[in-house]
Amino acid sequence: MNLFFDEEAQKLIINAKKEMYELKHPYVGSEHLLLAILHSNLSITKVLNRYSIDYDNFKNKLISIVGVGSNSNTWFLFTPLLRRIINNATYYSKDNSKMVTPYNLLLSILEEGDGVANRILFSMNVDVDALCEEFVSNNYSIRNNNLIIDDLGINMNEAVSKYDPVIGRDKEIDRIIQILLRKNKNNPLLIGEAGVGKTAIVEELARRIVNGKVPYKLKNVTIYSISMSILVAGTKYRGEFEEKINKLLKEVVSNPNIILFIDEVHTLMGAGGAEGAIDASNIVKPFLARGDIKVIGATTIDEYNKFISKDKALERRFQRVYVSEANRESVKNILIGLKSVYEKYHDVILKKDILNKIVDLSFNCVFNGKQPDKAIDLLDEVCSYATLNNSINKELLDYEISIKEVENNKNSEIRNHNFKKALSYKNKELELRSKYNEKLFNNNSRIVVTKDDVDKVIYNRASVLSKQEYNKRLKNIDIDESIEEILKKYDYIKNKKCINILLVNKNVLSTTLLVDKIAKNIFECNYIVIDMNEYREYALINKFISLFDSIIENPLSIVYFKNIEKGNRRILKIMLDSINKGYIDNNKQKINITKCIIFMSVSYIKSSIGFDEKNISNEITKYFDNIIYLNKENIKS
């Protein structure tokens, strides 16, 4: 028998014997085989569960009809009906893989139409004919063989318990479902920046499928996540990649209830296309054109324009679904929805004001990324920080260190035969352990995340000081009163524009010392000094703009432009326009400078941009909110 049965089918026969033994029945029948199937974790079992057939209710029904025997039987006799079921399953397998699978066994039970198993199903008001028809029409046997897709892909339906709930994306999910239900061009393509939640939308779709909250045509669908890097891995020679991906696609074609999800779908272009071999996109296109497979793709706007839009044959196979960045209100709702998930995982308490502060900081102080990814990432880090720095946890750690130290001393005294001293160490160890256990078991309250935890995390991450700490440092430094008044108004959450201060002074060196003093004693943050004397030629513009790359990771930066009257007028104009707009365009991305403090220094001496002791040109001053005249005596030491 084992020569014709795959591993899962063999397990089912063995488990059917176990079911018979536990129920103390004198034979192994169709009912025991069905119990074994219901006790497994196969895809066919999940289909049975949807018909309200599960292990417990079937077993209870069996016991109520047949009962439980009085003595266990060590003889495993198969009923004539079960033998016929197994023979029929062997016959069915000849048209498939010539190996009997769990699918073949279950189909044989249902098509037999007789026996205890079927009679119990009838008594449970199960439409056996409809159930049998579903298994035949959907060909569930493909899911019980060793498939390439199981090795190369991730079954997203089975992984839904690991996914966080998705909130506020009903419109996009409904649009995907609508496209999947189409007859032609039924392949959705999610387009949006990294971090907006494209993959999360597909995860939520998989959750809806598992929970049966989708139209009938999608209820039996399984979504598999496929990565091009895994497909390419191990294909060293020409032809290996084509063979591998063709096998995968043929398996998907043979089961129309499988949908492929390809994140970074633009990687289809060129994948596997070395040394004259055709790439993945040209292999997939014919399958998409004929409607043999369904694919959900995801990519960014830049990569879509760079790769997919240029291949018109591939582009028209997909229906675009644009995923925009979540707004402030949506992000707030998302964090409220995730609150219980993160409270349970980190064993903390998150209050509403903490969530609001995290939302504000994620919008105002974290610029490398997109929402809601930035806010969720910050929420997770704050919870982690609160857990790590909890005073109870620190006390427990101190006790553990002390106990270990005393224990080592005790063992050392025992080795030296100094038992009296060893006894004193033992008593001390018992005392410490008692206090440790008392602290451990009396600590029933969960950690409450505080605003201070949030401030510490955002400072460690973006060098952003809390308002309280900022004012404290400002008081401790002795600077010109007019500058101090300007800096008091700085608020990294409320400010929508960077603070810009033009310092006019005869002595450039003293101005530089003043800005250095502010940068090093107040902010301790990213400090950029640019001597415009080095940028007299416009050809240096790219080098000039590259100086601001560090602001991407450090949104709160101090930028000091020294000797602006000596720089190239066009470069200066670009910089002043950038201050007004709130960002610098470095061709790769827009660098947000709204949280920066920008100082510029110019001397009183008549210059090419119109400065003199009594007049500052309107052309320049219109860009500055604050202009301060300094002299050496104004700068306090």
pLDDT for residue 440: 66
Question: Could you write out the three-class secondary structure of 168-203?
Answer: CCHHHHHHHHHHHCCCCCCEEEEECCCCCCHHHHHH
HSE (side-chain half, CA atoms, 13 Å) at 250:
8
Q: Do the Cβ atoms of 223 and 206 come closer than 8 Å?
A: yes
Q: Do the Cβ atoms of 553 and 544 come closer than 8 Å?
A: no
CA distance 110 to 37: 13
Q: Do the Cβ atoms of 223 and 185 come closer than 8 Å?
A: no
Give backbone dihedrals phi and psi of 529, rounded to 5 degrees, phi first: -110, 125
DSSP of 208-241: HHHTT-S-GGGTT-EEEEE-HHHHHTT--STTHH
List, in sequence order, every beta strand (DSSP E) within 122-248.
153-155, 187-191, 222-226
Give per-residue pLDDT as tens, 157-209: 888 888 888 988 999 999 999 999 988 889 999 999 988 999 999 999 999 99
Q: Do the Cβ atoms of 586 and 546 come closer than 8 Å?
A: yes
β-strand 153-155 against 222-226: which pairing, if any? antiparallel
Coil, helix or strand for 282? Answer: helix
pLDDT for residue 447: 82
Q: Do the Cβ atoms of 45 and 38 come closer than 8 Å?
A: yes
Q: What is the b/e burial string over 400-409, where b = at least 16 CB atoms within 10 angstroms of the residue's CB? A: eeebeebbeb
Cβ contacts of residue 284 below 8 Å, gap of 6+? Answer: 245, 249, 268, 293, 295, 314
DSSP of 387-414: HHT-HHHHHHHHHHHHHHHHHHHHHHHH
β-strand 583-585 against 590-592: which pairing, if any? antiparallel
CA distance 203 to 160: 7
Q: Do the Cβ atoms of 6 and 56 come closer than 8 Å?
A: no
Task: Enumerate the β-bridge partners of residue 190.
Answer: 298, 321
pLDDT for residue 613: 43
CB atoms within 10 A of CB 331: 24
Which residues of the chain fall below pLDDT 70?
A: 1-3, 92-98, 137-147, 233-239, 270-278, 390-394, 439-445, 462-463, 492-495, 508, 524-525, 588, 604-623, 631-637
pLDDT for residue 434: 81
Quick one: CA dihedral 562, 565, 570, 574, positive or negative? Answer: positive
Coil, helix or strand for 632? Answer: helix
pLDDT for residue 604: 60
- Preceding amide of 372 cis, omega within 30: yes
Question: Could you write out the three-class secondary structure of 507-534?
Answer: CHHHHHHHHHHHHHHHHCCEEEEEEHHH
